[in-house]
Amino acid sequence: PAWFCNLDLPAAQYSPMSAKTQNYETILVSDAAGVRTITLNRPDDLNAIDDRVTKELQAELKNVARDRTVRCLVLTGAGRGFCAGQDLKSVMKREGPFDFTAALRQRYNPIISALKALEIPTIAGINGVAAGAGWSLALACDLRIAAKNAKFVGAFSKIGLIPDSGMTWTLPRLIGLAKALEIAWTGDAISADLALQFGLVNRLVEPEELAKVTQEWAATFAKSATKALGLTKRAMYAAMGQGLDEQLEYEAQLQGAAGRTKDYSEGVKAFIEKRAAEFIGE
């Protein structure tokens, strides 16, 4: 994909249109200390994804990409679920033959690509069940922190579909091919404990601590050398698709970009002056 190899840093221009002025129906957006939090907000249906959710997520991820004051993104859910995947109630209202290929291209794929292309850390704060494309969304974030009562459900095989929204890419890379196939084929729920053992989540916390710990974690990234973190993300994902020689060259090029940042100069200066670095994300 283009985001693997494109070396042009995205135009980091501050967008004067604040995300919070957007009139969203299905997501909530808030900012704190460089951390933007998007909360899926259809709690009665475990934050299942209908057309509005996909449109609003796409719009908000564009805002995040444009706004250089955002230095870490958190994605979480309202109520007892993280996200139950495609809204099956709206599926029941579809009339005539449905073009799944077009639907994935237009609705889900841009969200997954946008998350991966963001040059900042993204964290899923998994507050409850993550199923189907809801689990894929969590997997498309760079890091995952989950409440101990969260669970993960493939769901796709139970309704006769294949894992989508990037799950066939992310899951085998995170846990290996055999486990990924087992999970996808059985559709059995994975507990939070097992998800931690498998490396599917980075951290587990008590449910009542999730929001606080997630924000604290995100805030540490938001205070870091953002450009270097973004370039690290690019390098790591690119490494999954190329050999060592190509990767060494890619690292050399990306290090060229990192070495030109103000944060690099500040980092070295702070070390020599024996003080904490004050990174500005530039």
Interface residue with ligand T3D, options 115, 133, 146, 180 (CB under 6 A) = 133
CB-based contacts of 219: which residues, under 8 Å, 6+ apart?
32, 33, 34, 35, 72
Site string for ligand T3D, 65-84 (x = CB under 6 A): -------------------x
- By CB under 6 A, the residues from 201 to 240 that bind ligand T3D are none
Interface residue with ligand T3D, options 155, 175, 210, 222 (CB under 6 A) = 155
Q: Give the residue with the Cβ less far from ligand T3D, 103 or 213.
A: 103
Interface residue with ligand T3D, options 9, 91, 162, 181 (CB under 6 A) = 91
Among residues 127, 170, 121, 176, the alpha carbon closest in space to that of 147 is found at: 127
Interface residue with ligand T3D, options 26, 37, 76, 86 (CB under 6 A) = 86
Interface residue with ligand T3D, options 17, 28, 159, 236 (CB under 6 A) = 159
CB of 88 to ligand T3D, least distance (A): 4
- 203-205 and 151-153 as β-strands: parallel, antiparallel, unpaired? unpaired
Q: Give the residue with the Cβ less far from ligand T3D, 24 or 156.
A: 156
Stretch of 14-22, 25-33, 66-74, 158-166 lying at the interface with ligand T3D (CB under 6 A): 158-166
What DSSP string runs through 144-209?
A: EEEETT-EEE--GGGGT----TTHHHHHHHHH-HHHHHHHHHH--EEEHHHHHHHTS-SEEE-GGG
Q: Give the residue with the Cβ less far from ligand T3D, 34 or 134.
A: 134
CB of 128 to ligand T3D, least distance (A): 8
Q: Give the residue with the Cβ less far from ligand T3D, 104 or 280.
A: 104
Q: Which amino acid belongs to residue 202?
A: N
Distance CA 155, CA 188 (A): 8
Crossing angle between the packed helical segments 177-186 and 167-175, to the nearest 10 degrees: 130
Crossing angle between the packed helical segments 226-239 and 244-259, to the nearest 10 degrees: 170
| Strand arrangement of the beta sheet that strand 143-147 belongs to | 27-32, 35-40, 72-77, 122-126, 143-147, 203-205
Regarding 131 and contact with ligand T3D (CB under 6 A), the answer is: yes
CB of 108 to ligand T3D, least distance (A): 7
What are the structure tokens assigned to 33, written together? 């200390």
Regarding 169 and contact with ligand T3D (CB under 6 A), the answer is: no
CB 96 within 8 A of CB 42: no
Regarding 46 and contact with ligand T3D (CB under 6 A), the answer is: yes
Regarding 88 and contact with ligand T3D (CB under 6 A), the answer is: yes
CB of 71 to ligand T3D, least distance (A): 30
Distance CA 128, CA 25 (A): 21
- By CB under 6 A, the residues from 92 to 121 that bind ligand T3D are 100, 103
Helix (H, G, I), strand (E, B) or coil at 274: coil
CB of 121 to ligand T3D, least distance (A): 25
Helix (H, G, I), strand (E, B) or coil at 41: coil
What is the binding site for ligand T3D (CB under 6 A)? Answer: 45-46, 48, 84-89, 91, 100, 103, 129, 131-133, 153, 155-156, 159, 161, 164
